[in-house]
Amino acid sequence: MKVTVVGFGQCGGKIADEFVRINRTAINRRGIEICLGVYAVNTDAADLAGLHQIKDDYKHRILIGGNKTGGHGVGKINELGALVTKEESAKIFDSIDGTKRLYETDAFLLAASGGGGTGSGAISVMTKLIKEHFSDKPVYDIVVLPFEHEEQTEERSTFNTAACLKSINASADALFIYDNQRLGRKESSLNGNFTLNGNFTEINKEIVDPFYDLLCAGEETNRKFIGSKTLDAGDIKQTLTGWTCMGFGRADVPVFNFSFGKSGFASRNSQIAKGVQAMEQALANLPLECNAADAGRALFLVSGPAGEMNMEIVKEIGIRLRKIAPQATIRNGDYPREKDVIDVHIIFSALSHLGKIREYYVKSSNLIKEYQRRRENLERDQREMGDLGKDIPALS
């Protein structure tokens, strides 16, 4: 599957940057291209300059809102982020339309944080406009939810996230949701508790790396690496709709486990056990708390050592997934690779009940009432102040 990626705001830009990296790896290792164009859009010139991988020119690092923000961001005001994006959307389309072989793009992948101002405002506007502009191509959005401590100290994070989710849910074909609070968690070997990892570079890799196999699988041209059931763009498009969550898990498989030293039966069983282990890890690593039983669609991709992959693994994972997602239409694929690991990607899509998203909507509705109350109090205080001072002469 080939995508065109646009990142908005600081978080979106850095995620887009990672897509350039995986695209380069795909070109170098497999001779295939998975990202036809990658762009970053921001109101903050310094953030654009800080990117590492995206081409360093104004066509790929697109500065908007310069007149209104002086190139310094919108300071979390998502309405301003949305406004300047609308005003300068032609500039963004100018770049996207210039993408080489754009017609080969299977889908657009847009990324932003929900909590900031530029990204959350811009992705809301551009999802709708890109859908209108390229009516034949799906638009998938990657949205990153704020850390809990940000929600507690900065109300705008909650409000912006809710407004962003509501807006893009109305126009995106699917929304991949990533909860910063769950990403980058490290399980302590001492007590089994999770510690929070605030390192954005690692978190962004955790978000983007799983797209590598997912996008490469259907583009593979080397016969050795083409699976018995290829997962192509059609399977992915048929799966992705509405609220979506993708988890990734890996199990190491020493080479001798596959080829030597064990009877065929034992070796096959240990392969299946490794596949199940990777699947369980993928479920534990879902970047958003969700209930698989609510998924209307699901997809899994199993990658393992080429020439040694055993279809029993795919069968076993399929059976287990059916049990936990009984309502879902499940698609699958296998992707033989050169590594001695078994990787499992699992996507749950068409999720109907997401507690975390509901929470944003409820909290945000309460906040709107609270903002209204504060505004009325402020106006009343100002009126009272004016009344108190009305007899005092003003100097001019």
Ligand X SMILES: Nc1nc2c(ncn2[C@@H]2O[C@H](COP(=O)(O)OP(=O)(O)OP(=O)(O)O)[C@@H](O)[C@H]2O)c(=O)[nH]1
Q: Which member of 73, 115, 227, 247 binds Mg ion (CB under 5 A)?
A: 73
Size of the site for ligand X (CB under 6 A): 25
- Residue of 332, 242, 13, 2 lying closest to 137 (CA atoms): 2
- Residue of 340, 343, 268 lying closest to 302 (CA atoms): 343
Instruction: Quickly tell me which residue has 């699992």 as its tokens.
Output: 346
> Is 105 within 8 Å of 23 (Cβ atoms)?
no
Using the minimum distance from each CB to ligand X, give the nearer residue, 206 or 343.
206
Q: Closest distance between Mg ion and the C-beta of residue 72, in Å?
A: 9
Token couple for 163: 């407004």
Q: What is the per-residue binding string for ligand X in 18-57, x denoting contact by CB under 6 A?
A: -------------------------xx-------------
A 10 A CB-CB count for 105 gives 21
Using the minimum distance from each CB to ligand X, give the nearer residue, 52 or 322.
52
> Is 338 within 8 Å of 220 (Cβ atoms)?
no
Q: Which does 4 bind (CB under 5 to 8 A by kind): ligand X, Mg ion, none?
A: none
What is the number of residues in the chain? 396
Is residue 44 part of the contact set for Mg ion (CB under 5 A)? yes
Piece of 54-62, 108-116, 291-299, 323-331 that binds ligand X (CB under 6 A): 108-116
Q: Closest distance between ligand X and the C-beta of residue 121, in Å?
A: 8
Q: Which member of 1, 2, 5, 10 binds Mg ion (CB under 5 A)?
A: 10
- Residue of 159, 127, 78 lying closest to 362 (CA atoms): 159
Q: Closest distance between ligand X and the C-beta of residue 120, in Å?
A: 6
Q: Which member of 65, 115, 138, 275 binds ligand X (CB under 6 A)?
A: 115
Q: Closest distance between Mg ion and the C-beta of residue 71, in Å?
A: 11
Beta bridge partners of 174: 140, 242
Q: Which member of 3, 6, 11, 54 binds ligand X (CB under 6 A)?
A: 11
Q: Within the chain, where are the H helices?
A: 9-25, 45-49, 66-69, 78-87, 89-97, 118-133, 148-153, 155-171, 200-208, 210-216, 233-239, 255-259, 264-284, 311-324, 355-388
Residues at the site binding ligand X, with contacts judged by CB under 6 A: 9-11, 14, 43-44, 73-76, 113, 115-119, 144, 146-147, 150, 157, 180, 200, 203-204
Which positions touch Mg ion (CB under 5 A)? 10, 44, 73
